[in-house]
Structures are given as C-alpha cells and as structure tokens.
Chains A and B, each alone.
Chain A
Amino acid sequence: MGDDIVRLGPELALLTGAAIIVMVDVALPQIRGADRGRARLMALLGVVAVAVSIGWSLALAVGDEKGPAFNDVIVIDDFSLFFSFLFAGVAGVIVLASVDFLERNHFPAEYVALVLAAAAGMMLMASSVDLIAIFIALELQAIAFYIMVAFSKNEKSAEAALKYLLLGAISSAITLYGMAFLFGLSGSTALDEIAVFVRDAESDTRSGLVVAAVLLTAGFGFKMAIVPFQMWVPDVYEGAPTPVTAYLSVASKAAGFAVVMRIFLVALGEGAITSDWAVLFAILAAISMSVGNITALMQSNVKRMLGYSSIAQAGTLLIGLAAVAANDPQLLLGASSVLFFLGTYAFTNLGAFVAIIAISNKIGSDQIADYAGVAKRSPILAGGLAACLISLTGIPPTAGFIAKLYIFDAAVQADLVWLAIIGVVNSVIATYYYLRVVLNMYTRDPVEESRFLPSPSLSVALAVSVIGLFAIGIYPSPLIAASESAANVFASVS
C-alpha cells in the first residue's frame, strides 16, 4: 500500500493541490466580482502543486521507483513518467497563461483546481493498464474539460461547452462499447491478459476484435481530434477561453494518443489484428492531414486556424502509429516518434497559443487580418509567435523540423512511403497558412501605433516555449533518448 501511494505521487500532488486551492478560496474573505490578488494567489498555488508533482516524478525516475500499483491497475514505467512530466509541465504553463484571464474572472480558484484535476486525470490515463481504470481516468479529465470550456460564461463559450459535452458523452459511450467487446471476447479488463488472448486468438474472433478496434479508435479519435471525429474542434476551440483551447489542443490530444498507444500496442499489439488497425490508422492519417490542412487554409480566425491545424498535426502523429504496427514489433521507431512529436508539439503549440492570448488581449480580436503590423507594436510577441509558427511548419532549426524528420523517418522505415509523401505534400500546404500569419504581422502596417508588452506570467510561459523549441531543434538528443526509453516499454511487454 505504501508503495502504491508513492507511485501515485505525481497525480496525488496535483489533486491535493486542487483541494487546497478550493479550501483556501473558501477561507479567504469573499469578494463579489473579479479579484486580481486572489487570481494571482491561486495561480501561484497551482504552479507550486505542479512543481511538487514534477519533483515527485523526477524522484520516481531517478530513484527507479517503477512498477505496478493498486493491484496492477496502474503501472509506473518510463512511458507513464514521460507523460507525467509532459502533462504537469503543460498544466503549469496553462496556469501561467491563464493569469490574465483569471484576473477578469470571478472563479479563479475553481478554474485552477480544474486545470490540476484534468492534468491528474490525463496522467492516470497514461499510466492505467486496465480498461476500467482507463475509463475512469478518461472521465475525470473529460468532466474537468467540460466545465473549463464553459468558463467564459458567454454565449459562444456555453455553446462550445454544450457541444463538447454532448459529443464527448457519445464518444465515451462508443469507447465503452469497444471496451465491452474486448472484455466480452477475452474475459478480462487487464491489458496484458487481453494481449495473451489476442495473440492466441482463433480466426473466428478476428471480426469481433476488428469491431472493438474500430469502436475504440472512434471513441479516442474524439480526444485525438482526428477526421472524421473532429466536428467539435473548430467551434469548441473558438468558443472556449483561449488558455483552455491551448490545454485541449496540447494535453487532451496527447492523452488520447497515450491511451491509444497503451491499448493498441499492448492489448492489440500482437497477432493478425495489428495489420488491420495499422491500415486503419494509415488511412485516417492521410484523411486527417489533408482535411485539416485544406480547411485550415480557409480560416480567417486564428483560433479556428490553429484548431484545424491541430487536426492536421494529429494526422501526422497517426503516421507514427501506423508505422508501429506495420513494422517489426521489436522496432519501436514509430512509437518513439509519436512521443517525440507530442513533446515538441507541446512546446510549439503552447507557445503559439500563449502569444495569441497576449496579442488578442491587446488588439481585442482573433482575426488574422487584425494581426497586421503586430511586429511593429510588439516585436517580442511577434517574434515568439513567428518562431512557434515556423516550428509548426517544420522548418529548421526548430523542434518541429526534427519531429517531422523523425516521424517521416519512421514511416519510410515501415515501408509507408506513400503515407510519407502525403505527409510532406501536406507540410507544403501548411506552410501557406502558418506563414500567412507571420506575413501579416511583419509586412502590413498596423492600425494603431501604440506599443504593448505581454504581462509577466505570459512572458514566462512564452519564453519557456520558445527557448524549448529552439533547444530541442538544435540539441534534440535528450528528448529523443527519453522518447525511446518510454517507447521501449512496449518492447518488454511483447
């Protein structure tokens, strides 16, 4: 039991932090309306909780405190630690990026607590190895997100939240249906026991497994935001408070990929079924990239543009998943390329959203046309946003380039040249809409001349992202090593 608690430390730190924040809020004298001091205090407490969580993960990693917990429902390995760091880090940046928003909001404590709870849920998603635990973790983060999307409390935000809630509920139901199939066929909810069943499966159960795989892909496809399960993305991205949009686009997507990797690489990782879902992922990858990019070309709102671009990026990530299965199971290039891509994508996309939050706060618009001349009014923000967009395009010397190189490398190694070619053609299309924003900021004349600077917390968040994306672009070896050891988890299973 003691070991169990220690191994769950990173999640518990966040949840305890969330509880403390809510209690502190009750203890403080109640003020009607917005309260700047309270917002800052809550953000500070949130960052402290994140720091404790990261420290704990670090201790687990260094002290080699790995292994199963709670009757093998949860496992702490390199893979779950990778995501513990990722989600805690992202939550920290999101809290920092939300300070401006919270200073104008009436419920800062609840918001920060929800951010932390969602992060804990996503960490649990990555470390659960039992279908029931996975589903509970999934719901924990989903419910937190439903509330956060509605947090602006205006019409658009409410509409977005309702849409997200309804579609999210449907996707949960589909996920459960898929899980039921797996359980029904194998008689177990533990992933490794299902794996044994799948490996020895007779051919007459194959169709049942295919149905389960398709249902699970559909259910988690909602989280990963891949076509055709992306319908909610543009409206929710546009309506939600921008920090929440950033959180959704980076963390929620990564959590979806983490679970899919756990389920598909462990439970469905061997036997005839692998080639079936590999084809499924390859096709979804091609469709997601193409649909996401072509629709992104037509957007005039920068948040919607990033929404569609995140669909396209999810498609690129699926290339890595398709490459895993098409390959020799021992060769885990595809899995590590997905992990590396998620890590760099976190820096890049967070940076882009942070810059957009700072710019939109000042110019009061999300329209790409209104970004004209931002470079003159705020060279730092324009430079930061340009760096992030260039990284999303995949131009060196940024992290995005290495990620692209790595994932296409995996595809080529897995004989998926056709998919890699669709990928590179899509990256050319993407250049246009990413650089169009840069072009607007640098070559057009601003409507007003007044200069502005980002607030301190946004500056820190942006600096972390931009330094990170250049550091990874120039010296990617540490992150590559981390991704590879996390991916190795799947090698030892099979």
Chain B
Amino acid sequence: MVSFLIFFPLVGVLLIAFLPKDREENAKWIAAATAAIILALAIGLFAAYDRTDAGYQWIDELTWIDSDVAEFTLKYAVGLDGLSLPLVSLTAFLSLVAVLISWRIDLRPKEYFAWLLVLEMSLLGVFSSLDFVLFFIFWEIELIPMFFLITIWGSGNRVYSAWKYVLFTFFGSAFMLIGILTLGLSEGTFDIRELSQIGEISGAILPAGAIFGLIITAFMIKLPVVPMHTWLPDAHTDAPTAVSVILAGVLLKMGGYGILRMSLTIMPDVAKDASVYLAALAAFSIIYGAVMTLVQTDLKRLIAYSSVSHMGYVLLGASAVGVVGLQGASMQMFTHGLITGMLFVLVGMVYDRAHTREIGELSGLAQRMPFIAVMMVIAGLASLGLPATAGFVSEITVFLGTFEKHEALTIVGVIGIAFAAGYILWTIQRVFWGELDERWSDLTDANAWWERVPLLAMAFLILAIGIYPNVIMELIETGVIPISERLT
C-alpha cells in the first residue's frame, strides 16, 4: 500500500514521457491528476491509521541485497507511523499545491512536471523508509530533481544557488553515509525498527559520539541550523515558486524528521548528553534567523530567513528530549510546512504580477489584490504564532516541552517570536498597505481557480488546526511516545 503511494508518481512521469510534443501543455493535467490521487490516498491512510495500536502500519518488506561476504542485509522496507504519516500527508498536499501554482509554466513543461513528480516520490520515500540505507537512497535521489528544477526554471543566480544547495547536501550526506555504515556494521542491521531497540553502542570502530555527530551533521545542514544555513536563502530566492514551496514546506523537514527518527531514537544516550548543545544551537538559529529576517529587502529572502528561525524551534523541541517537546517539534514541522508554503505561494504570486520582490518598491497592493492581501494576513499571523492559528499550537507546545529542561534557552527562543511579530507585520504593512504606486495600478488579484483553491485550502487547514489541533496532535503523540520512552 505504502509502496504504491511512493512509486505512483512514476506512473505520472511515464505518462508525461509518452505525451506527444505538440500536446505538451497537457503535462500539467497529468501531473495534477497524479498528485491528486496521491493526496487522496494519503488522506485515506491518515484517516485509516489505527491510533489505538500505534507503531508502523502497512509495512511492505522484502530483502533487497543479501550478502554473505559483506555480512549485511539491506531491506526494502516501508511503513508509516504517527511521526511519518503527517509528513507524508503534508508532502502529498504541498505537491499538489506545487503543481497547481505552476499552471502557467510554459518552458519545457514536460520535463518540469516530471521532475516535480520525481521529487515527490523521493520525499515520500524518505519519510516512509524503514531501512536506514533505503532512507539514504531516497535522501540522495531528491538532489537530482532539485538540481534540474533550480538550474532550468529558477531565476537570478540560479546555477550558483543550485550548486550550493547540492554540494551542501552532498557534503552532509557523505558523512551520514560513513555514520550509517559504522552504525549498521557494529549492530549487524540497517533496519530502523531494530536499530531503535539497541542499547548503548559498543564495539563500533568509532565512538558513539562520533557516529552521532556524523549523522546529525547531515540533518542539521538540511534543517538548517546556523551556521550551516547559508545555502538556504540562495536556493529559496532563486528557485521557482513551486520549488520554494516544496523546499520550505517539506525538504527542510527531512532534517527534522531525521533528527527525531534517527538521531534521538537510535542513539538516545548520546542525544541526552548533547541536548544542551542542541538547544544552544537552536536558540542561536532562532535569534540569528530572526535578526537576519528583519534586515532583508527581498520578499523571498525574508521568508527564507524566517524559515531558518522557525526551524530552530524544531531543534529546540527535539533538544528537550521529552514527549511534549518532541510533539511540539513534529507539530512545528507540519504547521511550518503549511504556513511557509503558503507565504511562498503568495510571494510568488506578487512577484509574477509585479516582477519585483523588493519590499521598498512595493506598496498599497491590497487595493489591487484584496484576496492575496487577506491570505497574506492569515499566513502572516499564523507565522508569528497568533492563537487560533496552527503556528500558535506548535510553538507553545515546543516552549512547554523545553522550558523545564533548558529554561534560559527557551526564554531566548520566545524572544524570537517577538521578532517574528515585528518582521511579519512590518512587511505586510509596507507591501500591502499605504499609498498605491502608479506602477502597480493595473495589477490583478489571484482570480484563477488554480490560484484560489490551493490558497483557500491552506488557509482552511491553518485555521482548522489552530482551532482543533487534536485532529493531528493525537496522531503525532502516538508517533513520539516510543521516542520519548527511549529517551527516559
């Protein structure tokens, strides 16, 4: 079942590949249909997940490489639990959003939509893998579509940004590979379920702390944690809108997911020792990201830096090594995906119309695009954590979980919220309010269905989760309880 979900995007890719050249504009319909079917499946799984009997469900498993000499067995094993299912659903949702907001792509549309679907496949695979090597494989596959999507359809300094993105990730994953091999060889398995049961690592050729460091470095580059974040503003700014949405919405979560699923669960003892350092890094990321956000003049760069700050909360929640903090961290991953995804969609729409993202040049846009302005306010308020929005739920949970463990650092984290209020409100005020410039007098609002539907869906989800967080919180709880048990 889960395998079907992961590889279904390839069906879309095949159909697109056989599309005749003179009807290439139909690629978007194929992509939309594929993404919609996956979303429907994901929603079905979300509803059908047995919350009373937590753990991995719908497991598909077979031996992939069995080597006598090498003494290792690699499995193809996929399944979903309370930690991965929300992220799989988020991936399915944002992939459909990404396809819809790319409706007007006319440069090489066949390749564009095919790569988007390959990207979706690799992301679904990362979140569903139950074998560490399989996880790594999907983790690496993701680089190829991203490389093409940014270099071909990006803007600005796109080649430089794509290189930076690929090389940063590749550098991290090179070390992760060494970590995985050392870990797997000393424990005799790469199966995540078995690795989650092991005791203290001994007999490995590297000390446990070194293995932990090798693996978590890759995740912290992806999350990203300051000072390993420098690829993110560039990649975000120069990627096409849809890719920015996926990048902020889902790709960063690969790092957070990895920290929760691998680093904390497999090596809980080391994680507990490292907890205060992780918290310090998190607090630093939050404040540094927030301060950098304040001084940005480019709308996309601004949201990119705000992501750095917001992903700091994920690490902060994880560093609490307790059930509430973990809940907050995974909740923050989900809500940040929706909120920042939505912000990127909106900024992309403004840029498509005004052809500039300079905050100083824009003003009074609300008069011409009231719908976009309203949506921007919703997303913005959620981003700064206003109660009754999704952002509030996740951030308050993170703080509740962390305060007991790291008081001072949590307070530093809370200060980040104050900054967020500042940069979000100030930006909305400058861009949408005030005098309407002559230059912008003939801009249009988001009128097309493929613009309005995704925005309305995202706004609905943000408010719904804000008002009734249990719809997702319960599920996440079943996912993080096993992790917190390992950590006690």
The answer to whether A395 and B140 touch across the interface, beta carbons within 8 angstroms, is: yes
For residue B118, give the distance in angstroms from its CB to the closest CB of chain A.
11
Determine whether A316 belongs to the interface, using a CB cutoff of 8 Å to chain B: no
- Residues of chain B contacted by A408 (CB below 8 angstroms): 177-178, 181
Known: A442-B152, A443-B151, A477-B65. A420 touches B137 (CB 8 A): no
For residue B135, give the distance in angstroms from its CB to the closest CB of chain A.
11
Q: Could you tell me the dominant secondary structure of chain B's interface residues?
A: helix
Instruction: Determine the residue in chain B with the shortest Cβ distance to A426.
Output: B174
Q: How many residues of chain B get a CB closer than 8 Å to chain A's CBs?
A: 35
Determine whether A145 belongs to the interface, using a CB cutoff of 8 Å to chain B: no
Instruction: Determine the residue in chain B with the shortest Cβ distance to A473.
Output: B137
The answer to whether B185 and A413 touch across the interface, beta carbons within 8 angstroms, is: yes
- Residues of chain B contacted by A484 (CB below 8 angstroms): 67-70
The answer to whether B167 and A397 touch across the interface, beta carbons within 8 angstroms, is: no
Known: A395-B140, A413-B185. A439 touches B66 (CB 8 A): no
The answer to whether A401 and B205 touch across the interface, beta carbons within 8 angstroms, is: no
- Residues of chain B contacted by A488 (CB below 8 angstroms): 69
Determine whether A412 belongs to the interface, using a CB cutoff of 8 Å to chain B: yes
Q: Mark A403-436, 1 if CB is under 8 A from B, else 0.
A: 0011011101101010011001101100110010
Instruction: Determine the residue in chain A with the shortest Cβ distance to B183.
Output: A412
- Taking a contact as CB atoms closer than 8 A, the residue among A395, A405, A487 that contacts B143 in the complex is A395
Determine whether B133 belongs to the interface, using a CB cutoff of 8 Å to chain A: yes
* B-binding residues in A (CB < 8 A): 331-333, 336-337, 390, 395-397, 401-402, 405-406, 408-410, 412-413, 415, 417, 420-421, 424-425, 427-428, 431-432, 435, 439, 442-443, 476-477, 480, 484, 487-488
- Taking a contact as CB atoms closer than 8 A, the residue among B65, B71, B147 that contacts A480 in the complex is B65
The answer to whether B159 and A443 touch across the interface, beta carbons within 8 angstroms, is: yes
Known: A395-B140, A424-B174, A424-B175. A443 touches B67 (CB 8 A): no
Instruction: Determine the residue in chain B with the shortest Cβ distance to A411.
Output: B181
The answer to whether B174 and A425 touch across the interface, beta carbons within 8 angstroms, is: yes
Please report the C-alpha to C-alpha distance between residue A406 and residue B167 in the assembled complex, in whole angstroms. Answer: 22
Please report the C-alpha to C-alpha distance between residue A31 and residue B178 in the assembled complex, in whole angstroms. Answer: 60
Known: A412-B185, A443-B152. A401 touches B69 (CB 8 A): no
* A-binding residues in B (CB < 8 A): 64-72, 133, 137-138, 140-141, 143-144, 147-148, 151-152, 159, 163, 166-167, 170-171, 174-175, 177-178, 181-182, 185, 205-206
For residue B457, give the distance in angstroms from its CB to the closest CB of chain A.
33
- Residues of chain B contacted by A432 (CB below 8 angstroms): 163, 167
Q: Could you tell me the dominant secondary structure of chain A's interface residues?
A: helix
- Residues of chain A contacted by B182 (CB below 8 angstroms): 412, 417
For residue B8, give the distance in angstroms from its CB to the closest CB of chain A.
17
Please report the C-alpha to C-alpha distance between residue A332 and residue B65 in the assembled complex, in whole angstroms. Answer: 17
- Residues of chain A contacted by B70 (CB below 8 angstroms): 333, 336-337, 406, 409-410, 413, 480, 484
The answer to whether B178 and A420 touch across the interface, beta carbons within 8 angstroms, is: yes
Instruction: Determine the residue in chain B with the shortest Cβ distance to A331.
Output: B69
Known: A333-B70, A428-B171. A401 touches B137 (CB 8 A): yes
Please report the C-alpha to C-alpha distance between residue A405 and residue B69 in the assembled complex, in whole angstroms. Answer: 14
- Residues of chain A contacted by B178 (CB below 8 angstroms): 408, 412, 417, 420-421, 424
A-B contact pairs, 5 of them (CB 8 A): A332-B69, A409-B181, A424-B175, A425-B171, A488-B69
For residue A284, give the distance in angstroms from its CB to the closest CB of chain B.
21
- Taking a contact as CB atoms closer than 8 A, the residue among A409, A424, A477, A487 that contacts B185 in the complex is A409
Known: A415-B205, A476-B65, A477-B66. A427 touches B174 (CB 8 A): yes
Please report the C-alpha to C-alpha distance between residue A477 and residue B147 in the assembled complex, in whole angstroms. Answer: 30
Instruction: Determine the residue in chain B with the shortest Cβ distance to A475.
Output: B64
- Taking a contact as CB atoms closer than 8 A, the residue among A331, A395, A425, A477 that contacts B144 in the complex is A395
The answer to whether A480 and B67 touch across the interface, beta carbons within 8 angstroms, is: yes
- Taking a contact as CB atoms closer than 8 A, the residue among A424, A435, A439, A476 that contacts B177 in the complex is A424
The answer to whether B68 and A428 touch across the interface, beta carbons within 8 angstroms, is: no
Known: A395-B144, A396-B140, A428-B170. A409 touches B175 (CB 8 A): no
For residue A114, give the distance in angstroms from its CB to the closest CB of chain B.
37
Return the 9 tightest CB-CB contacts between A and B, nearest first.
A424-B174, A396-B137, A412-B181, A484-B69, A443-B151, A428-B170, A428-B171, A333-B70, A415-B205
Instruction: Determine the residue in chain A with the shortest Cβ distance to B151.
Output: A443
Please report the C-alpha to C-alpha distance between residue A425 and residue B205 in the assembled complex, in whole angstroms. Answer: 19
The answer to whether A442 and B151 touch across the interface, beta carbons within 8 angstroms, is: yes
The answer to whether A401 and B65 touch across the interface, beta carbons within 8 angstroms, is: no
- Taking a contact as CB atoms closer than 8 A, the residue among A396, A405, A431 that contacts B170 in the complex is A431
For residue B6, give the distance in angstroms from its CB to the closest CB of chain A.
13
For residue A445, give the distance in angstroms from its CB to the closest CB of chain B.
12
- Residues of chain A contacted by B148 (CB below 8 angstroms): 442
For residue A437, give the distance in angstroms from its CB to the closest CB of chain B.
13
Please report the C-alpha to C-alpha distance between residue A402 and residue B138 in the assembled complex, in whole angstroms. Answer: 13
For residue B387, give the distance in angstroms from its CB to the closest CB of chain A.
44
For residue B18, give the distance in angstroms from its CB to the closest CB of chain A.
14
For residue A418, give the distance in angstroms from its CB to the closest CB of chain B.
10
- Residues of chain A contacted by B159 (CB below 8 angstroms): 439, 443
Instruction: Determine the residue in chain B with the shortest Cβ distance to A408.
Output: B181
For residue B142, give the distance in angstroms from its CB to the closest CB of chain A.
10
The answer to whether A431 and B167 touch across the interface, beta carbons within 8 angstroms, is: yes
- Residues of chain A contacted by B163 (CB below 8 angstroms): 432
Please report the C-alpha to C-alpha distance between residue A107 and residue B166 in the assembled complex, in whole angstroms. Answer: 47
The answer to whether B205 and A417 touch across the interface, beta carbons within 8 angstroms, is: yes
For residue B68, give the distance in angstroms from its CB to the closest CB of chain A.
7
- Residues of chain A contacted by B181 (CB below 8 angstroms): 405, 408-409, 412, 420
Please report the C-alpha to C-alpha distance between residue A484 and residue B72 in the assembled complex, in whole angstroms. Answer: 13
For residue B277, give the distance in angstroms from its CB to the closest CB of chain A.
22
- Residues of chain B contacted by A428 (CB below 8 angstroms): 167, 170-171, 174
For residue A33, give the distance in angstroms from its CB to the closest CB of chain B.
41
Please report the C-alpha to C-alpha distance between residue A74 and residue B111 in the assembled complex, in whole angstroms. Answer: 53
For residue B378, give the distance in angstroms from its CB to the closest CB of chain A.
37
The answer to whether B171 and A395 touch across the interface, beta carbons within 8 angstroms, is: no
The answer to whether B65 and A336 touch across the interface, beta carbons within 8 angstroms, is: no
For residue A4, give the distance in angstroms from its CB to the closest CB of chain B.
31
Please report the C-alpha to C-alpha distance between residue A431 and residue B144 in the assembled complex, in whole angstroms. Answer: 11
Most chain B beta-carbon contacts within 10 A, residue among A420, A487, A488:
A420
Known A-B contacts: A396-B137, A442-B152. Give 5 more (CB < 8 A): A336-B69, A337-B70, A401-B137, A435-B166, A484-B69
